[in-house]
Amino acid sequence: MTQAALEFDRVSYTYPGGQQALRAVSLRVAPGERLGVLGPNGGGKSTLLKIALGLLTPDEGEVRVWGMSPHQARREGVVGYLAQRMEAALDFPLSARQVVEVGASRRLAPWRSPPRAMRERVDRSIELVGATSYADRPVGRLSGGQLQRVLIARAVACEPKILALDEPTVGVDAEGQRRFGELLTTLNRELNLTILLVSHDIRGVAAGCDRVACLSRTLHFHDAPEGLTPQVLAEVFSHEVGAAFGGEVHVDAHHAHECPGGHTHDAPGAARREEGGERAHD
């Protein structure tokens, strides 16, 4: 079997306060694959990403990131990461391009990265995410969607093999989600990036992913696809309530195209356009 981009083998994690966030989670993401992980708030999605990033260490189980431990992969810059909430408002006087440059230069030792090559990488990343027209604007004046693209450019400029995105389309309307899905398709194709996207929003997950897994503390990931039926979804999201009572939940992985029309699951008007409002949920 070829080396996995990301592999979890029966990984469990309990927070110091006693809250078990993940239980015996196993998953395998192939290089170049685009996997969406769908689950309710509190289902363990952010915890899963933080473990892959080496920010949290599991109590049990094995994690390999491109054959390395998460810590080693972190040192090597294997995973680019877009956190769930953007950190403190970026209103310092840097242009979008400078934000990308700062990120890119922090990762790469100068001797590995001649200034010209780095500049080209920065330019290419900005172009890939479609941020060229506002690259010289101060980041504090960008919309939420524009800022997000700049942060993705920053991650991509470090040449990661995997891009991990935590709830990237929260507060984005249907058209914005579609365009974001296209952006991921471009990154996936042009850079052969492996993409791992987690969200509680089925539309955000389903658009363009190769496979979808459902996570609600436990995750059952396999390659025999079944449809994401309304029954499965109801069960997964019932955990939003059920978690409080320690309920068991069925989880499955499916081919994304078998999702029952991702766009039909939200009531009209449910998706609000909130430029810069990515912090508005949960």
Contact 40, 240 (CB under 8 A): yes
Given Mg ion, ligand ADP, none, residue 43, with its beta carbon under 5 to 8 Å by kind, binds ligand ADP
Residue with Cβ nearer Mg ion (11 or 122): 11
* The residue type at 29: V
φ/ψ region of 174 (left if φ > 0, alpha if ψ in -120 to 50, else beta) reads alpha
Interface with Mg ion includes 216 (CB under 5 A)?
A: no
User: Interface with ligand ADP by CB under 6 A: which range of 44-52, 180-188, 253-261, 266-274?
Assistant: 44-52
Q: Which of 35, 46, 52, 150 binds ligand ADP (CB under 6 A)?
A: 46
* Per-residue interface string for the shown chain with Mg ion, residues 98-117, x marking contact by CB under 5 A: --------------------
Contact 248, 263 (CB under 8 A): no
Residue with Cβ nearer ligand ADP (38 or 135): 38
Interface with ligand ADP includes 93 (CB under 6 A)?
A: no
Distance CA 70, CA 33 (A): 19
Residue with Cβ nearer ligand ADP (77 or 242): 242
Contact 48, 22 (CB under 8 A): yes
Residues 6+ apart with CB under 8 A from 259: 202, 206, 212, 227, 228
Query: What is the CB neighbour count within 10 angstroms for residue 157?
Result: 27
* Per-residue interface string for the shown chain with ligand ADP, residues 7-26, x marking contact by CB under 6 A: --------x-x-x-x-----
Q: Which of 41, 105, 143, 229 binds ligand ADP (CB under 6 A)?
A: 41
Closest CA to 199 of 185, 186, 212: 212
Interface with ligand ADP includes 57 (CB under 6 A)?
A: no
Distance CA 61, CA 83 (A): 24
Interface with ligand ADP includes 45 (CB under 6 A)?
A: yes
Given ligand ADP, Mg ion, none, residue 39, with its beta carbon under 5 to 8 Å by kind, binds ligand ADP
Query: For the chain, how are helix, strand and coil distributed in percent, rounded to 5?
Result: 40, 20, 40
* Structure token digits, residue 129: 């995410």
Restricted to residues 45-64, the positions that interact with Mg ion (CB under 5 A) are 45-46
Q: Which residues would be at the binding site for ligand ADP (CB under 6 A)? A: 15, 17, 19, 21, 39, 41-47
